[in-house]
């Protein structure tokens, strides 16, 4: 079963050059652009996705969840920040979750759990690569690899990563 992606919505928007530009014009348009971009990504990679936005100061936003284009959208409750909401949600499920945020505070607090934390910049690059792969039929990473000859991989127990790091590496490859 693929892990569920929990995305810190405003953090990803503001760390993505294309989305940040839209967000500066209109915050609601920034949210819509993120959701449509994630819907395209979800068509390719098939991960369950939950996007969490900070709804603390916005009374017009529903604290109830909604699903649009296969993306589950949640707003933090009154008196709770999105960071606290993400931490509580991710802590419940542990290794079944991958949290997408560049907020070091969230990643540090989730470090004790088995939950994987991926930076917003890295995930934005993964989305770009997946969309490029969809439209061009070849990933950007493969194009770079064809230019440079691959070195032989060393084998043996001493070269093997710990199990937790191997699991994280495998999840990152799938993103």
pTM: 0.79
Which class is 4-174 in CATH? alpha beta
DSSP state of 157: G
- In the chain, domain spans: 4-174
Neighbour tally for 119: CB within 10 Å: 17
- Digitized pLDDT (tens) for each residue of the chain, 175 residues in all: 788 999 999 999 999 999 999 999 999 999 999 999 999 999 988 999 999 998 765 555 555 678 999 999 999 887 888 999 999 988 888 778 899 999 999 988 988 787 889 999 999 999 998 888 878 776 555 544 444 445 566 666 667 888 878 888 888 888 7
Closest listed residue to residue 15, CA positions, set 40, 34, 32, 28: 34
- Enter the tokens of residue 88: 């509580």
Q: HSE (CB half, 13 Å, CA atoms) of 110?
A: 31
Compute the residue count for the chain. 175
């Amino acid at each position: 079963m693929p892990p569920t992606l929990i995305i810190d919505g405003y953090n990803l928007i503001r760390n993505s050059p294309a989305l940040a530009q839209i967000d500066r014009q209109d915050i609601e348009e920034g949210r819509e652009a993120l959701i449509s971009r994630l819907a395209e990504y979800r068509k390719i990679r098939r991960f369950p996705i939950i996007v969490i936005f900070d709804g603390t100061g916005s009374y017009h936003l529903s604290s109830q969840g909604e699903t649009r284009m296969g993306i589950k959208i949640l707003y933090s409750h009154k008196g709770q920040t999105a960071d606290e909401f993400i931490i509580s949600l991710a802590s419940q499920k542990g290794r079944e979750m991958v949290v997408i945020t560049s907020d070091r505070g969230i990643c540090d607090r989730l470090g004790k759990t088995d939950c994987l934390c991926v930076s917003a910049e890295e995930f934005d690059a993964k989305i770009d690569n997946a969309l490029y792969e969809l439209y061009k039929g070849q990933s950007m990473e493969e194009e770079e690899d064809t230019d440079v000859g691959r070195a032989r991989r060393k084998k043996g127990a001493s070269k093997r990563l710990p199990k937790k790091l191997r699991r994280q590496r495998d999840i990152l490859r799938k993103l």
